[in-house]
Structure 1
Amino acid sequence: MPTLTDRQRVELAIPAYLLFALSSAPDAFVPADPDLAARAEADIAAMRADIQAALLEPFGDLTGKKQHALLRRVERIGKGVITGWGNRSALSVMLTLWYFLKDLTDREVLILWQGSAMERATSRLLPMFAHGFEEEKRDTAAQEQARQLLARLQVEGLYD
């Protein structure tokens, strides 16, 4: 297996960092049926564990200063993106991140291997927000915001 460049490692980690940040927000996922709350909490906990594994995976073969430096870069870039979320709803941000991920996977910049931590996380995530695709105005806005997110990250030298 070829060694990843620093840029490739950061590119692999950014989507997981953003999904983890969103899933950490209070009330990011509220089950429609209160009776499903316990099941939802278990699903969210499992999803977050997979996202966290996907976030750290690109740096697993690194040690010490190099690993910490790249993780700090991911955090700096990620925090810059998160500050742009403003007062948007979690659903709006999730749709944006979904379209961002879709673009990366469609262009094979990011490959979600069957059974990988990121693939498991996204498989759990989709049913939690799929209803957001039904509102055309929100869906169109999310697609535009995903393009803006990609452009912002390209300014950082990523995903060219």
Structure 2
Amino acid sequence: MPALSDRQRVELAIPAYLLYMLTAAPGVFVPADPEKAARAEADIAALRADLRAACCEPLDDLPAKKREALLRRIDRLAKGVVAGWSERPALSVMLALWYFLKDLTDREVLILWQGSAMERAASRLLPMFAHGFEEQMRDAAAQEQARQLLTHLQAEGLYG
């Protein structure tokens, strides 16, 4: 298999990184049933571990200095994206990120290999916010926000 370019490594890492950042926000996933809170915390911890692994996997084979440089680039790109999240509900952001991820997988820019950290994260994630798809207005807005996210990242030289 040919070596990945820096751009390809960033493209592979950024979806997981964005999801990881969102799941770090307090109260993103709050179970309606307090009795399920402990289980939810464990699920979120496992989700975050998978997202962290999925973000780091494309960089694992690099020397430390190169890995750190790419992580700084990913962080800079993500902070540019996250800056627009402050006024939006977490569910809306999650739906937009899901549609962004779906677009990448549909176009085979990103492949969620069976058993990979990103595939496990996606499998855990969907049940946590699937109820958001029920509102058509929110769903349509999320699809538009996903397109805007892709356009923003394309302007940065990614996902061309």
TM-score range, shorter chain: over 0.9
Unaligned runs of 5+ in 1: none
Identical aligned residues as a percent: 76
Aligned length: 160
Partner of 2:149: 149
Secondary structure at the counterpart of residue 85 of structure 2:
coil
Secondary structure of 1:84's counterpart equals: helix
Q: How far apart, in 1, do the equivalents of 2:20 and 2:79 lie?
A: 12
Indicate the RMSD between aligned Cα atoms, in angstroms. Answer: 0.6
Matched residues in 2 for 1:11 and 1:5: separation?
Answer: 10
Give the structure 2 partner of residue 8 of structure 1: 8
- Find the counterpart in structure 2 of residue 49 from structure 1: 49
User: Following the alignment from structure 1 to structure 2, what is the Cα–Cα distance between the partners of residues 33 and 64?
Assistant: 44
TM-score by length of 2: 0.99
Match of 2:28?
28
Query: 1:93 matched to which residue of 2?
Result: 93
Distance 1:13 1:119 in 2: 13
Distance between the aligned counterparts of 1:55 and 1:105, measured in 2? 16
* Poorly superposed stretches of 4+, deviation over 2 Å: none
Q: Distance in 1 between matches of 2:64 and 2:124?
A: 32
Structure 1 SS opposite 2:114:
coil
More moved, 129-138 vs 57-66: 57-66
CA displacement at 1:63 relative to structure 2: 1.1
Shift, 1:86, TM fit: 2.1
Please give the alpha-carbon distance, in whole angstroms, between the structure 2 residues aligned to 1:64 and 1:130: 38
